[in-house]
Amino acid sequence: MHPRWAGRCESCGEWNTILEETVAPRPGPAAKGAGRPVDFVHLDGSAELPPRCPTGIVELDRVLGGGLVPASAILVGGDPGIGKSTLLLQAAAALARTGRRVLYISGEESIEQTRLRARRLGVQDTPLELAAAINLRDIAASLRTPGDTALVVIDSIQTMWLDSIDSAPGTVAQVRACSFELIQLAKAGRFAVVLVGHVTKDGAIAGPRVLEHMVDAVLYFEGDRGHQFRILRGVKNRFGATDEIGVFEMTDRGLAEVANPSALFLAERHGNIAGSAVFAGVEGTRPVLVEVQALLSPNPAGQPRRSVIGWDGGRLPMLLAVLEARGGLRLSATDVYLNVAGGLRVSEPAADLAVAAALVSAATETPTNAGMIYFGEIGLSGEVRQVTQVDARLKEAAKLGFVQATLPRRIARGNRPPVQPNGLELTEIGHISDLVGAFPRE
């Protein structure tokens, strides 16, 4: 907040980045009298689970926790061009096909453009109701008598405009006020509203973050434009679990659901190359296998580079230090490049062991076994720590044809056979030196 004109932002030091927004004075509570006391009730009372309305797109329904909840608001955020309009037009059309009333309001594209897209996606013959509009007063007027509407898609919230707010579409004030209005309409009309929000880098228009607290669910659509697959990630859900992911593949006929993401992420793996290890990860409730790649290059003179794509960049120096101090590897005069192949972003600490395996494999120029998967968290003293969902990881690995796993030593429960029922041969390790010892040293 700046009480008067300022050319330079005090928090980031940039010039000419402050936008002027007028805040209309509102009558405070005192102006309206004393207020009415709120009713308090017991926790133990009737509490119906909200009914769900599946869209028919399984990967989307999974992230939503089983489908759309009536009278709720969902924010779908993502970079421009990542495929948000494509996904929502496909979902809206799939739902409309089941006989429910679905409205799609585009503020970015004309009717003709959306029709062309629908034709390309092969959904032009669905009874979806389409409008191109940005004036929220008009939109609200059409939503006040929603009938049996199940879903309203607003593409995008940054194009919507409320004439009572004295600033341009896309500003924080407009985005907030329009969203508030749409959420109230959704609660009153008992339909689900999806707000599409562009993630913006320069901050000239308000990003979806300003809305995260207002909506019931927040989904981010991620991916790398250079790769064909996209990930829909739940980061907030008032009606279900978060951290679920849906995996899609972008094709010229729109987004195709990917039922078996591990196979997709491992599709281009070449065995027998040093510096590669397969991580058995879990995203939400779903096991996902990905390849971790490490490349080392000597840099005796300068400051060594550490470059990470798809993993927590802050964890790599920690892991390198542990490998040096506890594993006896020399990596301080070496550039290190780390990449999660395919473009998935891994955030689990369980990836530590796979990253370490890729690094040791690169350092010793010895490929990991082609049939081996790795998972486990690594602590500062070099200990390999337990992680959750061991059975799900092993099962997924077996399903994809892997035959060996290196994992944290589990707390002894009798004499566990080293071979699992699903056919995997297990190597349980307790310390990073056990991993380093599995590779030959020069």
Judged by beta carbon, residue 10 or residue 112, the one nearer ligand ADP is 112
Judged by beta carbon, residue 173 or residue 217, the one nearer ligand ADP is 217
Stretch that binds Mg ion, among 5-13, 83-91, 305-313, 377-385 (CB under 5 A): 83-91
Among 55, 85, 262, 276, binds Mg ion (CB under 5 A): 85
Judged by beta carbon, residue 196 or residue 322, the one nearer Mg ion is 196
Give the shortest CB-209-to-ligand ADP separation in angstroms.
17
Give the shortest CB-229-to-ligand ADP separation in angstroms.
12
Among 57, 62, 73, 84, binds ligand ADP (CB under 6 A): 84
- Contact between 106 and Mg ion by CB under 5 A: the answer reads no
Residues 44-83 that bind ligand ADP (CB under 6 A): 78, 80-83
Give the shortest CB-138-to-ligand ADP separation in angstroms.
22
Burial 301-322 (b: 16+ CB within 10 A, else e): eeebeeebebbbeebbeebbeb
- Mark 320-339 with x for binding to ligand ADP (rule: CB under 6 A) and - for no binding: --------------------
Assign residue 188 a region: left if phi > 0, alpha if psi is -120 to 50, beta otherwise? Answer: alpha
Q: Which two tokens stand for residue 357?
A: 């395996």
Please choose which of Mg ion, ligand ADP, none residue 107 contacts, taking the beta carbon within 5 to 8 angstroms, the exact cut-off set by kind: none
Are residues 298 and 333 in contact, defined by beta-carbon separation less than 8 angstroms? yes
Please choose which of Mg ion, ligand ADP, none residue 81 contacts, taking the beta carbon within 5 to 8 angstroms, the exact cut-off set by kind: ligand ADP
Helix axes 136-143, 172-189, angle to 10 degrees: 10
Give the shortest CB-114-to-ligand ADP separation in angstroms.
10
Give the shortest CB-73-to-Mg ion separation in angstroms.
19
Give the shortest CB-235-to-Mg ion separation in angstroms.
20
Give percent helix, percent strand, percent coil of the chain, each to the nearest 5: 30, 25, 45
CA distance 107 to 130: 11
- Contact between 286 and ligand ADP by CB under 6 A: the answer reads no
- Contact between 197 and ligand ADP by CB under 6 A: the answer reads no
Among 55, 72, 86, 334, binds ligand ADP (CB under 6 A): 86
Give the shortest CB-228-to-ligand ADP separation in angstroms.
9
Please choose which of Mg ion, ligand ADP, none residue 80 contacts, taking the beta carbon within 5 to 8 angstroms, the exact cut-off set by kind: ligand ADP
- Contact between 250 and ligand ADP by CB under 6 A: the answer reads yes
CA distance 23 to 36: 27
Dihedrals φ, ψ of 259, to 5°?
-80, -30
Residue indicated by tokens 């009914």: 51
- Contact between 86 and Mg ion by CB under 5 A: the answer reads no
Dihedral angle over CA of 275, 277, 282, 286, nearest 10: 120
Cα 245 to chain centroid, rounded: 7
Residues 114-173 that bind ligand ADP (CB under 6 A): 120
Cα distances from 428 to residues 75, 143, 210, 399, 414, in angstroms, run: 43, 59, 46, 20, 15
Cα distances from 375 to residues 35, 330, 349, in angstroms, run: 57, 23, 9
Please choose which of Mg ion, ligand ADP, none residue 353 contacts, taking the beta carbon within 5 to 8 angstroms, the exact cut-off set by kind: none
Give the shortest CB-80-to-ligand ADP separation in angstroms.
5
Among 85, 167, 179, 406, binds ligand ADP (CB under 6 A): 85
Cα 150 to chain centroid, rounded: 25
Cis? peptide before 164, omega within 30° of 0: no
Judged by beta carbon, residue 86 or residue 361, the one nearer Mg ion is 86
CA distance 168 to 24: 15
| Neighbour count for residue 393 (Cβ, 10 Å) | 25
Q: Which two tokens stand for residue 265?
A: 């992420």
Residues near Mg ion (CB under 5 A) are 85
Residues near ligand ADP (CB under 6 A) are 78, 80-86, 120, 250, 252
